[in-house]
Amino acid sequence: MPADLRMTPQRREVYEVLRVSHDHPTATDVFHRAKERMPGISLATVYNCLEALTEHGVVRQVNVERASSRYCANLDDHVHFHCEGCGQVVDAMPREDVTAAQLWKLPRGTKVTALDVSIHGLCPECAKANTKSSH
Amino acid sequence: MPADLRMTPQRREVYEVLRVSHDHPTATDVFHRAKERMPGISLATVYNCLEALTEHGVVRQVNVERASSRYCANLDDHVHFHCEGCGQVVDAMPREDVTAAQLWKLPRGTKVTALDVSIHGLCPECAKANTKSSH
DNA sequence: ATCTTTGCTTAGAATGATTCTTGATCTCAT
DNA sequence: ATGAGATCAAGAATCATTCTAAGCAAAGAT
């Protein structure tokens, strides 16, 4: 945990919710889960905590299209797969090191700081259901 | 142009604005530009037209973090580079065919329909300015 | 130990992008 | 022409998120 991030009870709780959740909850989801153990916490505080944690690189913000941001405590290098059937978001690990500059033509002198990839499609369950229902 | 997309004057104008714009305008940007030649057009109509055009695959919606959606008439396979310095969004073409399944581990049976990549960083101009100012 | 500064939390208001609603208008096949 | 189904415009509504103001709490200075 970064030294310059003051770990208040609220921040600790928000982080703990994310640490044990593997479903990429939204701020509201986090709020409801945190509330179970810390009934006084407010949604604004959850937003503040998520912002502080994100800025300090302790959690990742995951944006899918225009929907509410989701959050994730998995800091390993990974991308997100969004199932268009059931809406779930799951992590996908790279097969090997992938860098943007290797894969896309960028003007000479461009500095890449982050590569943000979302894969859209159907998870195995939805893909199967889809095949069956379509004949 | 898809046969099942009725090309009303408003849709034609919105499409035309995007065709001649290479700066990935937001819905509001498109609204202002369309208004110059079609003063009666409303923002709601621009949103409706953008939705219709997007659904028919004639334009692409580009989402950058939580900011307003941007739109783009470039249908070639490409990704978007976002400069954190000046905020511009530019297209980047793939060096060769890139498929999600090749690069990331996905559960067996996953069906991929779209790969959405945003590269964040500094464009050559901002990168240069940044280096200079930092010493 | 108390004062002060600074940052955190809270509730509620405000913002801003987008979507919805309604009634008018248009298109096109019958 | 006529009627069904789209589309348009204006404004209201929604929803995620951010801002504001006031109270609190911790860390350091006196």
Domain residue ranges in chain A: 9-72, 79-133
pLDDT at A63: 95
pLDDT at A98: 85
Question: pLDDT per residue over B83-123, tens digit each?
Answer: 999 999 999 999 988 899 899 999 999 999 999 999 999 99
**Can you tell me the distance from the alpha carbon of B91 to that of B3, in angstroms, rounded to the nearest whole number?**
28
Which numeric CATH code is attached to A79-133? Answer: 3.30.1490
Across the range B40-52, mean pLDDT stands at: 96
Chain B contacts in chain A segment 51-90 (CB below 8 A): 63, 65-66, 69, 78-79, 81, 84
Q: Under CATH, which architecture does the B9-72 domain have?
A: Orthogonal Bundle (1.10)
Q: How far is CA B62 from CA A117, B23, B38, B41, in A?
A: 13, 11, 25, 23
pLDDT at A4: 86
**Can you tell me the distance from the alpha carbon of B41 to that of B37, in angstroms, rounded to the nearest whole number?**
9
Q: Distance from first CA to last CA of chain A, Å, rounded?
A: 53
Name residue B69's amino acid. Answer: S
Ranges of residues in chain A whose predicted pLDDT is under 50 = 135
> Do B79-133 and B9-72 fall under one CATH topology?
no
Q: Does B43 touch chain A (CB under 8 A)?
A: no
Nearest-Cα distance to chain A for B118, in Å, is 5
- Using a 7 A cutoff on CB, list residues near strand C: A 6, 8-11, 38, 40-42, 44-45, 48-49, 52, 66; B 6, 26-28, 43-44, 47, 51, 68-69
**Can you tell me the distance from the alpha carbon of B125 to that of B48, in angstroms, rounded to the nearest whole number?**
36
pLDDT at B4: 85
Compute the Cα dihedral for A49, A51, A57, A59 and give only its sign: positive
Distance A63 CA to C26 C1' (A): 39
Backbone φ and ψ for A83, nearest 5 degrees, come out as -80, 125
pLDDT at A79: 96
Interface test with A, best of B71, B117, B128, B131 (most A CBs within 10 A): B117
Q: Any bridge partners for residue B60, and if so which?
A: B72
Instruction: Kindly tell me the burial class for residue B39, based on how many C-beta atoms sit within 10 Å of its own C-beta (0-12, 13-18, 19 or more).
Output: exposed
pLDDT at B51: 96
Chain B contacts in chain A segment 111-130 (CB below 8 A): 111-124, 127-128, 130
User: Are A122 and B114 in contact (CB < 8 Å)?
Assistant: no
Q: Distance from first CA to last CA of chain B, Å, rounded?
A: 53
